[in-house]
Structure 1
Amino acid sequence: MQNDVERRQRWMAVLARASCQELDQAYSDLPNAPAYVCLRPAESGLVLVRGRAGEAGASFNLGEVTMTRCALKLTDGTTGFAFILGRDQRQAELAALFDALLQRDDETASATLKVISEFEHAQSMRRDLKSRKAAATKVDFFAMTQAREPE
């Protein structure tokens, strides 16, 4: 059971990080777009972000960020939820739709899982590229002090 919860959390995180353009493209590629009704239409608000200094440090209020949430139900009764950073209501609605599609027991769920895997791979590639660019600017100050001539 715990494994299913962790897997769903990972999928929801991938959907939350996917851009609206990626979600729109995946939605238009669906063979038959499902009908749904909004249980809670997409709405934006603020959420408090907390930080921690180190692993054992005391937590503190870092600031507020804009968040959008949405809940919807497919015509078969499957519900989907999404929470995303930012104010893009279409992105939240599409993420909630894909969350609902992942819970179905038909070929739509497997097709949606393939889309999620593609999103996850693209996000990983972007993260690696950003990490490599940052690593290229790293300065090793210890090596710089060792290279200095003694007086």
Structure 2
Amino acid sequence: MASIQKSAEPTATGARQRAMGLLAKASRAELHAAFEALADKPDARPVRGPETGLVMVRGRIGGGGAPFNLGEATVTRASIRLDDGTVGHGQALGTDGAKARLAAIFDALFQQPAHRAGVETLLDGIAARLAGEDAGKARQTAATRVDFFTMVRGED
């Protein structure tokens, strides 16, 4: 029986999933500034969209984690093709088609070794902003935390 060893290095698929996730959480301003900073702006032709639709948001409840439909969310997606044939896909919550298109462009650039380092720099900035926002929320939550405890009575 062969053993499967997990690598500390993320797979190409895992790295792209991480990149697409961060691009979806990026602000339009972050993506636009990064695109304007590109020396060679790629010629991106639309393959699909941008188009807006709805997705079902699911939640879990109870001790067993039974799933339930929480509601719907508006999502915009876009697909582009660069001159060399590289296809990129982008998604964003809401109706911002320009943001989804920019995310698709950076997804395509992420797949190209020549541009990957530049896209990684953008992704690191997005990840740092998100970590800072999470830390701020954690501090706000901790400030309102109430610790309940039980005192043992000496009469028992």
Does 1:92 find its partner at 2:100? Answer: yes
SS at match of 2:113: coil
Residue of structure 2 in register with 1:19 after alignment: 27
Identity %: 42
Q: Which runs of 5+ in 2 are unaligned?
A: 1-8, 152-156
Q: What pairs up with 1:38-117 in 2 under 5 angstroms?
A: 38-54=46-62, 56-106=64-114, 108-117=115-124
CA distance in 1, matches of 2:98, 2:139: 32
The CA distance in 2 between the partners of 1:54 and 1:128, in whole Å, is 28
Whichever structure has more helix as a proportion of its residues is 1
* TM-score, normalised with respect to structure 2: 0.85
Q: Per-residue deviation at 1:15?
A: 0.4
- The alignment partner of 2:77 has SS state of strand
CA-atom RMSD in angstroms = 2.1
Question: Structure 1 residue 5: deviation in Å?
Answer: 1.6
Query: Mapping of 1:127-138 within 5 angstroms?
Result: 127-138=134-145
Match of 2:3 in 1: none
Inter-CA distance 51–77: structure 2 relative to 1 (3 Å threshold)? same
Tell me the TM-score normalized by structure 1: 0.88
Q: 1:62 to 1:5 in 2, by over 3 A?
A: same
